[in-house]
Amino acid sequence: MKTTHKLWMGILILGVLSPIGIFFPEHFKAGDAWGEWGTQTLRELTGYIPQGLEKLSGLWNAPLPDYAFKGWEEKGLGHLSFAYIISAAVGVLLVVLAVYVLGKFLTRKGE
């Protein structure tokens, strides 16, 4: 089996397993996943928000906030799991496309 085939199979398996990110925090009543805190949650956890983070917090809005489609936030776990898998697939595709384009740009034929 080729190394790239193993890589793609591993990525596919991780994408399908991505809904575990919904189950574990909900099962253990843990709240948000570690490091995925918004400014309000960070303030609750630490008591303050660093100035730089507060200033830059509105700069980027995720295309799929909370890994769910608009209007799906209150739907069942099945819908959220599907949205997680789609989010994983979109993320993988974007990274692969970016690496491919960057690789084509940096490796010029004939040099």
Reported as a single tens digit per residue, the pLDDT across 41-70 is: 889 888 999 888 888 888 887 777 777 788
Q: How many CA atoms lie within 13 A of 44 on its CB side?
A: 7
pTM (2 d.p.): 0.60
- Distance of alpha carbon 81 from alpha carbon 20, whole angstroms: 8
pLDDT at 33 over 60: yes
CA 67 to centroid of chain Cα atoms: 7
Q: Give the pLDDT confidence score for residue 109 in this predicted structure.
A: 67
Q: Confirm if 77 and 24 have CB atoms less than 8 A apart.
A: no
pLDDT band of residue 30 (cuts 50, 70, 90) is confident
Q: Give the pLDDT confidence score for residue 111 in this predicted structure.
A: 56
Dihedrals phi, psi of 31, to nearest 5 degrees: 80, -140
Rg (CA), the chain: 18
Sorted by where each begins, the domain ranges of the chain are: 3-37+64-106
Range in 29-33, 69-73, 101-105 the model is least confident about: 29-33
